[in-house]
Structure 1
């Protein structure tokens, strides 16, 4: 897995309070020990979806699986990842194989966890860690699947752009934000993902969606880049973009009242030659040439890609910034 630059506080589970006993037995007026009710035990602190020890074991197992996948060529990540994360990693592995390159792997160091007390649906938690010999921080969402615990969402940040900490309750547990919960935020997590997708599909022309994001966010910069390409090629090619958010969204409340939101987007860009254009379309970058097998297209070209994003959402009315993105093209076809 190679994350292109795109936190939380270590949680500690509170121990149950110990019940205290009194001194010697009391006596009645008849001189015999008085009967008394057994000391009541203090209620146990709420438990997270996993304990810190269990989270560390899951992270260790994933690290071993990740290392083995890399050793075998990094083209099948199903032993370590699931969903869109595995889709992106598999695509990256195949591209590296086409280019004759190998995936890098560095050991996990300094892990810490944000563990919710409860979630909607399958249990999940977030691990943040460094990599030995590397700068920056990685954030990974682990979720329990039918095949076991898998990484399902990822992000990476530089040390300077590290996101704010997740909020913790009195028991040290992280607080989740439901996909449709926009309380104290400029938009709900699902609305943020949808706004990002609309910006891509409209080449940045959806002003309402644009107001959700900072000007230097990946959402607005990528849309502007596509708009510039469309303008340059408009006399020869018609460009359309279909952008669709992934169903899975993971969000944590921050200590400042905002949110950290992980979401994914699948996208298809279609280039259709205008009548009488008389031009061919080719891809010049190394990855594009590999995926298109060096072909040039005279009638139609279809580019598919997938990306995963970490949105840092301040408390309303603050706008969304995206420290980076994990993105790759998955296929280029045409005629």
Structure 2
């Protein structure tokens, strides 16, 4: 298998203090020399996204926009559904995707991994329909063949794929992410 450097044009660190060789070493998933082993990172972040600063893992992370945003999304979903008479939950889980990690020049790891944001709700009353329309994304439900207004139940999964830096010591930095809907079911 041929290997290509991360970039032939980019120079310098990916984020403050985060730099890798052109041909970095792979970091084992269970590397205990880091703040968190790469194989445990998704579960740790899922707990933080689900519970915020109440999570025992919260102390491991530098809280920036890329951690706060999915947490605030879960809170917004919970409030919206429960405020309209629905029962259920929203939570984050480690996605069933591979975790990739390479060694940084500082001895840390640059890690790619995924989280699934799972939302599952049922209506207490058929008169409390929910219409979920986003200014940024429009009516996501229609794209999945689900009515714009659901009246009895809704289950959806959104995926966030992250790039994070795990230092040998110190706080984990989430550097980048991308979000996309995986599935939506409802009626």
Q: Distance in 1 between matches of 2:131 and 2:63?
A: 30
Tell me the residue number matched to 2:184. 332
Q: Distance in 2 between matches of 1:228 and 1:204?
A: 13
Tell me the residue number matched to 2:66. 218
Q: Distance in 2 between matches of 1:282 and 1:322?
A: 32
Q: Distance in 1 between matches of 2:76 and 2:149?
A: 21
The correspondence for 2:41, drawn from 189, 192, 209, is 192
Indicate how the Cα distance of structure 1 residues 292 and 246 shifts in structure 2: closer, same or farther if over 3 A, else same: same
Indicate how the Cα distance of structure 1 residues 217 and 204 shifts in structure 2: closer, same or farther if over 3 A, else same: same
Compare CA radii of gyration and give the structure with the larger one: 1
Tell me the residue number matched to 1:12. none
The correspondence for 2:55, drawn from 191, 202, 207, is 207
The correspondence for 1:268, drawn from 95, 113, 118, is 118
Which sections of structure 1, spanning at least 5 residues, go unmatched?
Answer: 1-49, 57-112, 114-126, 131-136, 138-158
Indicate the SS of the match to 2:120. strand
Which sections of structure 2, spanning at least 5 residues, go unmatched?
Answer: none
- How far 1:194 moved relative to its partner? 0.8
- How far 1:302 moved relative to its partner? 1.0
Where does 1:1-335 land on structure 2 (aligned, <5 Å)? 54-56=2-4, 113=5, 127-128=6-7, 162-163=14-15, 164-167=18-21, 173-183=23-33, 185-200=34-49, 202-204=50-52, 206-235=54-83, 236-240=85-89, 241=91, 243-273=93-123, 275-276=124-125, 278-285=127-134, 286=138, 288=140, 289-316=142-169, 318-335=170-187
Instruction: Provide the TM-score with structure 2 as the length reference.
Output: 0.79
Q: Distance in 2 between matches of 1:217 and 1:203?
A: 16
- How far 1:232 moved relative to its partner? 4.0
**1:294-333 alpha-carbon deviations (Å, 9 max, x no partner):** 43111110112223211112230x2112122122002221
- How far 1:229 moved relative to its partner? 3.0
User: What is the RMSD computed on CA atoms of the aligned residues?
Assistant: 2.8
Q: Which has the higher contact order (CA 8 A, sep 6+)?
A: 2
Indicate how the Cα distance of structure 1 residues 298 and 287 shifts in structure 2: closer, same or farther if over 3 A, else same: closer
Indicate the SS of the match to 2:93. strand
- How far 1:263 moved relative to its partner? 1.0
Q: Is the 8 A contact 2:163 2:177 kept in 1?
A: yes
Q: Distance in 2 between matches of 1:238 and 1:205?
A: 24
More strand per residue: 2
Indicate how the Cα distance of structure 1 residues 225 and 304 shifts in structure 2: closer, same or farther if over 3 A, else same: closer
Aligned residue pairs total 179
Instruction: Provide the TM-score with structure 1 as the length reference.
Output: 0.47
Q: Is the 8 A contact 1:204 1:223 kept in 2?
A: yes
Q: Distance in 2 between matches of 1:252 and 1:328?
A: 25
